Structure 1
Amino acid sequence: MQLLLLSNSTSPQGFLTHALPAITEWAQLGTEPAHVLFVPYAGVTRTWDAYEALVADALRPAGLQLHSLHREATPLEAIARATHIVVGGGNTFALVRQLRQTGQLAAIAERVRSGGARYLGWSAGANLACPRLSTSNDMPIVDPLGFDTLGLVPFQINPHYTEAHPEGHRGETRQQRLREFALLNPGVAVLGLPEGTGLRVDGNQYTLQGDPQTPARWFTDTEAPAILPMGPWKL
């Protein structure tokens, strides 16, 4: 499988601008026509049409011309033809519900696992690649009709990971929340991806990408997480 899982899409440079070199490398566009399918369903306050236009503009410099899944008359056939599947961020619960109730969740999993399509996801799209909808930062604004997701990686991801704890804030930190997950889900690891970072998956090879000053975190139990520097990484 060829995956690129990003923590975030926005940056001071613009929408997906910070990730364009990694996206271009991931895309591996050759001489054959590419069928790039965008999944906009995590967009809630942004319409799917507007989301499609935003992502199309952002990915054009990488040589990607996409079509949104919500416009397809036969979406399952579109998934079966796709060479690249791009899943945008937003609300993960809304994303999973729409994909599950249309049968598209299983179709995407099959297409990517078979090697037929490369997978790019940020924020909610990175959550979707995990085994379960369990380490999202989103509110459950809709019933996702189940917590199983694509299972493209054998661990959970927490995008937008931060160690920040504003002065006067009395709620739990992100690290505390992920330790709660570890306590109730023994043996299930979580990768915390800070802003500006991502995970490249090439078969069984994993590479953490991004600013070396913002290392990722690896939770395996209720103790403090391990710090993972950018670069090749072995499970």
Structure 2
Amino acid sequence: MKLLLISNSTNAGEQYLAYPLDAIDRFLGAVRDVAFVPYAAVTFSYDAYESKVQQRLGERGIRVRSVHREADPAEAIRRADAVCVGGGNTFALVRKMQEQGLVEAIREKIEAGTPYLGWSAGSNVACPTICTTNDMPILEPRSFGAIGAVPFQINPHYLDANPEGHAGETREQRILEYIEANPDRWVVGLREGCMLRYEEGRLELAGKRPARIFRKGEPVREVEPGGDMQFLMQYK
């Protein structure tokens, strides 16, 4: 497998997909054609999403073709040299992917070694389920089941702080609820500006900030950038 799972598309004060662009370019290597899944977009069109991603990745000579333009999106995935899934609303994304048979098609491509990259919701759907998304369930998918490329859950945009004046649960409290109900599952709190890269049988944290790791019965731990996170791949 080859995976690049990015927490967020844009850091504060930066341009869209600016911070992960070098990592995306290196990850894809000689692959210059990408099948793009835009279905997490809700308040803007799939055409606009494709254009926005193409504008940025095109700076490195990468051609983006959105599957929404295809008569058979699943077949477009099966033909793809690489698969890219953009962020937005995870529930809208997985519902459309389930309707079009993309969950299975992408899983098969990943297992065959096709590079997969995603950010935010695109990272969520690489997990066994979408249960650790931050998004509002604006649409109801057939199930919470996702691609399952990795055996753990990701919480993108992980925040440590509780906003001043807010008396609700912190992100950590939400995740602690999840692992209480799902004691066999690890969760990676992936802070903004960070990404998980899986290549040549090794899972590594990239970026400038540590990731926060949760599992019921285990002490919450921090893994620094560059740290080996291969232990997360050992739990099915």
Judge same fold: TM > 0.5, yes or no: yes
Structure 1 segments, 4+ long, off by >4 Å, are: none
SS in 2 for 1:50: helix
1:226 aligns with 2:218: no
Say which of 162, 177, 186 aligns to 2:183.
186
Equivalent positions of 1:1-235 (< 5 A) are 1-11=1-11, 12-29=13-30, 34-115=32-113, 117-211=114-208, 214-221=209-216, 225-233=220-228, 234-235=230-231
For the residues of structure 2 that align with 1:187 and 1:97, how far apart are their CA atoms? 25
Q: Give structure 2 stretches of 5+ with no counterpart.
A: 232-236
For the residues of structure 1 that align with 2:223 and 2:36, how far apart are their CA atoms? 30
What code does the residue aligned with 1:146 have?
S
SS in 1 for 2:168: coil
Per-residue deviation, 1:15: 0.6
Question: TM-score under structure 2 normalisation?
Answer: 0.94
Overall identity of the aligned pairs, in %: 49
**Contact 1:109–1:150 (CA under 8 A) maintained in structure 2:** yes
For the residues of structure 2 that align with 1:223 and 1:164, how far apart are their CA atoms? 22
Hey, what does 2:234 align to over in structure 1? none
What code does the residue aligned with 1:4 have?
L
Question: TM-score under structure 1 normalisation?
Answer: 0.94
Per-residue deviation, 1:35: 3.3
**Contact 1:24–1:63 (CA under 8 A) maintained in structure 2:** no
Cα deviation digits, residues 131-179 of structure 1 (max 9, x gap): 0111000011111111110000110000000101111101000000000
Number of aligned residue pairs: 229
For the residues of structure 2 that align with 1:229 and 1:166, how far apart are their CA atoms? 25
